[in-house]
Structure 1
Amino acid sequence: MDLKGKRVVVTGGSSGIGLALARAMLARGARVAIVGRRKVELDRAVAELKMLGANIVAVAADITRGPDRQRVLACAEAKFDGVDILVNNAGAVRAGRLETIAESEIRAMVEVNLLAPILLTREALPHLRKCGHGLIVNVTSAAALTGVPFYGTYAATKAGLARFGEALRRELKGEGMHVLTVYPVATDTPMMATSRAGEDLGFGRESAIDVAAAIVEGIQADSLEVVRGGDARAKLIGLNRENPLALDERFFAIKAELEAATREHKAL
């Protein structure tokens, strides 16, 4: 898909991968609406992007709320006369032992990472159908492919979003729409600020700019998925498929250190 002139909605667009992706798409001639809960951050992002002469608009909204989802789509219709691409990027995380995580935090992850994208996609489908070449981009996580200790609920929601996208792609086949699923590894974003898991534990971080560039490349190539992490991640995914107990042992060897490094990881 050529991004020039495309009308794009990016949730979680005020920082991190969402902001980097908005910037990359704008550079290729797209028109972008970024969505986020915090107006101050949105205003800062829009001011930065407008300095580039970009066709950008911001919508302060909580996509877990029905009226806010409708307002996001109404804004895109009003500003751009439609939607060509929906990027479900907003995310929430709370790491730690399952029994230490509050029910409210578990529900927040399910709401933001899984239920809201499903409902927003459902509401966006009539808009995407009108353009005749609609695209849905679901930003999941490497944890959707290999479960990581102390990220059980997060992994479940991201795996759920991945399978949702796969099923929807098949449902929409032949109807002028496509679904792209993205699996980033740990990325240097505000969402990761409270995690102390680093390269020594296998959690090296790549830049949001690199992830955004890979997503744009996937969009332009009409790819089915974008999996980050290179050969090392591919080997880990293969090991998890072929010999999951070996991966269990690998995580067991760093279990205490990983728990200590992730117990304060929270972005809800």
Structure 2
Amino acid sequence: MEVKGKRVLITGGSSGIGFALAQALSERGARVFITGRRRAALDQALASLPSAQGVTADVGTQAGRILSLDGVHAAFGGLDILVNNAGAVRAGRLETLSEDEIAAMVNVDLLAPILLTRSAIPLLRASGDAAVVNISSGMGLIGAPFYSVYAAVKAGIAHFGEALRRELDGEGVHVLTVYPGGTDTPMMKSNNAGASLGFVLEPAAAVAAATVDGLNAGALSVVRGGEARANMISLNRADPAAVDARFRAMKAAFEEAVRSHSSL
């Protein structure tokens, strides 16, 4: 897919990977529309993206999803690329998470993108050369302790994308799934796990560039994390007990480092 001239909606586009994608796509000639829950952050992002438009909207709500789709349609007359990027995370032992925290992750990371995509399909199909980009996570491929709910919803959005890609095959709508590793974004500010625990943060711009390259190439997925992540994914498939042992060795330190990780 050639992204130049494409009409793009990016949820959670005011910061992090979403903002980096807005920059990268704008630089390559796409027409970008971003949404975000926080008005001040959205205004700041739009000030840095002079060619972009946007609206304050919480896609975790029906009203926010309507605002998002109505906004991009009013701005550009249609939609070619939907990027489901808005996300929420809360780390911790499952029994310590509140029902509200669990529900927030399920809603924002899984239910909202499914419902937004469902509503967007007529616009995307009308494009004739469209794409849905789902931002999953490396934890959608390798479940980590103290991230049980987050891993579940990120694996869920990945399999949603895989199934939807096959459902829409031949209908002019491609589906790309992106699996970022640790990324230097506001969502990670409250995570105190460092390189010794496997959290090496890469710039959001690097994830964005790889995602745009994946769109251009018609890729099915983009997996970040380099050779180390690829090896861990292979090991998790071939010998998951070995991955269990790796986590067991650092379990106490890992729990302490991520106990405050929250972005809901």
Aligning the two structures, in what range does the TM-score lie when normalised by the shorter sequence?
over 0.9
The residue aligned with 2:136 is 140
Tell me the distance in 2 between the aligned counterparts of 1:149 and 1:73. Answer: 36
Q: TM-score, normalised by structure 2?
A: 0.99
SS in 2 for 1:44: helix
5+ long unaligned stretches in structure 2 = none
Q: Which amino acid aligns with 1:5?
A: G
Tell me the distance in 1 between the aligned counterparts of 2:8 and 2:171. Answer: 19
1:177 aligns with one of 153, 173, 183: 173
Tell me the distance in 2 between the aligned counterparts of 1:95 and 1:207. Answer: 22
Name the % identity. 60
Tell me the distance in 1 between the aligned counterparts of 2:60 and 2:90. Answer: 17
Q: Which amino acid aligns with 1:49?
A: L
The residue aligned with 1:256 is 252
Deviations 1:188-242 (CA, angstroms, capped at 9, x unpaired): 0000000000101011110001000000100000100000011100100011000
Q: Displacement of 1:41 after TM fit? A: 0.2
The residue aligned with 1:60 is 56
Stretches of 4+ aligned residues off by more than 2 angstroms? none
The residue aligned with 1:30 is 30
Q: Displacement of 1:22 after TM fit? A: 0.2
Q: Which amino acid aligns with 1:64?
A: G
Count of residues in correspondence between the two structures: 264
The residue aligned with 1:228 is 224
Q: How does 1:78-89 map to 2 (within 5 A)?
A: 78-89=74-85
The residue aligned with 1:219 is 215
Q: Displacement of 1:104 after TM fit? A: 0.3
The residue aligned with 1:2 is 2
Q: Displacement of 1:261 after TM fit? A: 0.1
Tell me the distance in 1 between the aligned counterparts of 2:63 and 2:86. Answer: 17
The residue aligned with 1:49 is 49
1:100 aligns with one of 93, 96, 101: 96
Q: Which amino acid aligns with 1:63?
A: V
- Asked if 1:159 is matched to 2:170, the reply is no
The residue aligned with 1:15 is 15
Q: Displacement of 1:48 after TM fit? A: 1.0
2:124 aligns with one of 128, 139, 151: 128
Q: Does the CA-based 8 Å contact 2:178-2:221 persist in structure 1?
A: yes
Q: Does the CA-based 8 Å contact 2:54-2:71 persist in structure 1?
A: no
Deviations 1:38-64 (CA, angstroms, capped at 9, x unpaired): 0100000001111xxx2x111100111
Deviations 1:2-53 (CA, angstroms, capped at 9, x unpaired): 1111000000100000000000000011001111000100000001111xxx
Q: Does the CA-based 8 Å contact 2:60-2:112 persist in structure 1?
A: yes
